[in-house]
Amino acid sequence: MSLIILYYLLVLIFILGFMFFLKGVYGFISSSMMNTDFNLSLMFDNHMMVYFTYVVIILSFVIVMYANFYMEHDLFVSRFLFLLLSFIISMIVLNLSYSCWMLWLGWEGLGVTSFLLIIYYFNWKSSNSSMVTLMLNRLGDFSLLLGLLSFCLIQSWNVVNFKFSPWILILVVLAMVAKSAQIPLQSWLPAAMAAPTPVSSLVHSSTLVVAGTVLCLKFNNYFFSYSMYWLALLGFLTSFYASIMAYVEQDFKKIMAYSTMSQIAMIMFMLSTNLNKLMFMHIMNHAFAKALLFLSVGVYIMYMFGSQEARMLELKMYSNKMSSFLMMSCLLVMCGIYFLSCYYSKEFVLLFSYYQETLMLITNVMIFLSLAYSLRLIIFLIKSLELKLKPTFLSNVNYMSMVLFMIMISNGWFMIYNYSMPFNLQFSMEKNYLMLVPLLIVIFSILYYKNLEILNLDYLYQSSFYPSWITMENIKTKLKTISLSMNFVSMQFSFMINMKMLTLPFLFMLILLLIFYLN
């Protein structure tokens, strides 16, 4: 098992290093006949697609290491890892495709390998779910194939800088709707939860469900003239349906599936409002948060003896402070709490919607509904924390999860710093450094409590922690405005921090750390 994992990681490292040194367009097979060019080529000039490919590889590293723990005693691990590697390579080919042939190769590779991964356990549930997934995705694949066959009429195979007709664009949008599980082709996504949890983590974070949005980013200049308003309506209907289903569903993994459907609907709404870089930022934020969320859910499922019933948390059969902390953090990130990554992507959407009252109403409803089902899960997790018997500490899984957690809460800062947002630059520059506040709070808190454990070993054996003398009378905050400016040799920046805005997230993160690290 360890040797297979090592070979797997070496392949991913080779792909990552191969991408690092490449620039431009690279063709593998190229031929010309009768004024018709045929080529299989990849493009490394699109910075957003290259960055997204890096994210896919990083998440693959973490998920493969997690699969080593989650499927340690499985009989067919080598087959599972081979299918997972094929799935990842198909997504990389789709991201970097330059010709329609490479685009179709990556698209079909995702469809075939996802079918084989969902049917992995070969029981009735997985067989039924895989057939539902295959049939609904075949509709989108057929639409995309018809659109790509129209390239024969103009005898050109390059996807980039191609002038689409309205009919071709409609076929591409149908393929995107099917692959992204939007209404009316949304039923395959909850059914795909029959796959192993590492597969679900990869599918819902950065591969299968976002393949449709990758297609939109490649053809992004052509969507706004034909499909702007009905894409916004489609995203709202899907988000409304998914949020209601997530609120009433009891299956842990299906709740996560409906949550993914709701977030992808928000991404479709951003696409309809011509916010392509903002859409890309939200895709990245969702990828890290959803991957970490599924890893934490998988730990809960293991220690609930394979049960995916969310209400079992109220029975207090199992509690893991680290997993609960990570799950609650991921849910709050996707809700858009202050100074976390999704707060800025959703805030820009709200600001953009001020231009039209209907868009503002739709956006507020979508954000409120995503908050509703997230709070329901958070309540379940809080109720499970009263258990006194704790399971074995999962050191390797928790270390990997914490690394992913650090990347998740700092990704928004990186995106705003490197990609311009749709509003003025000063508005972005004043806020991008504030996004590092949660990351710094978590790092210093972990270092403080680790040092506390070393100095006082008896602290490790305390069954509970009762905070004393922590009252609102003793907590006195002076709401001031701090002006900070720094000058380096070749860099100058200045920003304003309002301490009143920092008080709420600071107290919130402090309370969470007190609960989960000291209890």
Per residue in 476-487, pLDDT (tens digit) is: 333 333 333 333
Q: What pLDDT, on a 0 to 100 scale, did the predictor assign at position 65?
A: 79
What pLDDT band is residue 470 in, cutting at 50, 70 and 90? very low
Mean pLDDT score, 423-434:
49
Burial 50-68 (b: 16+ CB within 10 A, else e): bbbbebbbbbbbbbbbbbb
What is the predicted pLDDT for the residue at 445? 60
**Residue of higher predicted confidence among 329 and 43:** 329
Taking 80 as the threshold, does the pLDDT of residue 254 lie above it? Answer: yes
Q: What are phi and psi of 342, to 5 degrees?
A: -70, -15
Once rounded to an integer, what is the mean pLDDT over residues 36-56? 70
Report CA torsion sign: 403, 408, 413, 415: positive
412 close to 435: Cβ distance less than 8 angstroms? yes
Mean residue pLDDT across the chain: 69
Arithmetic mean of pLDDT, 115-137: 84
More confident residue, 7 or 281: 281
- Name residues whose C-beta falls within 8 Å of residue 233's C-beta, 6 or more positions apart in sequence: none
* pLDDT score recorded for residue 163: 62
CB 259 within 8 A of CB 334: yes
In this predicted structure, the answer to whether residue 201 has a pLDDT above a threshold of 50 is: yes
Cα torsion 72, 76, 82, 86: sign? negative
Q: In this predicted model, which residue has the larger pLDDT, 490 or 78?
A: 78
Q: pLDDT grade, residue 469 (50/70/90)?
A: very low
Place of tokens 């820009």: 348
Closest CA to 271 of 230, 316, 328: 230
How many whole angstroms separate alpha carbon 40 and alpha carbon 61? 27
Predicted confidence at residue 481, as pLDDT, reads: 35
Give CA 512 to chain center in angstroms. Answer: 23
Least trusted range by pLDDT, from 69-83, 103-117, 498-512: 498-512
pLDDT tens sequence across 203-245: 777 778 888 888 877 776 555 555 567 777 888 888 888 888 8
Furthest-apart CA pair in the chain: how many Å?
84
- How far apart CA 145 and CA 439 sit, in angstroms, is 45
Q: What is the DSSP letter of 325?
A: H
**Region of poorest pLDDT, from 282-286, 299-303, 442-446:** 442-446
- Low-confidence winner among 58-67, 89-98, 396-405 (lowest mean pLDDT): 396-405
Q: pLDDT digit string (tens) for 133-167?
A: 888 888 888 888 887 777 666 666 666 656 667 77
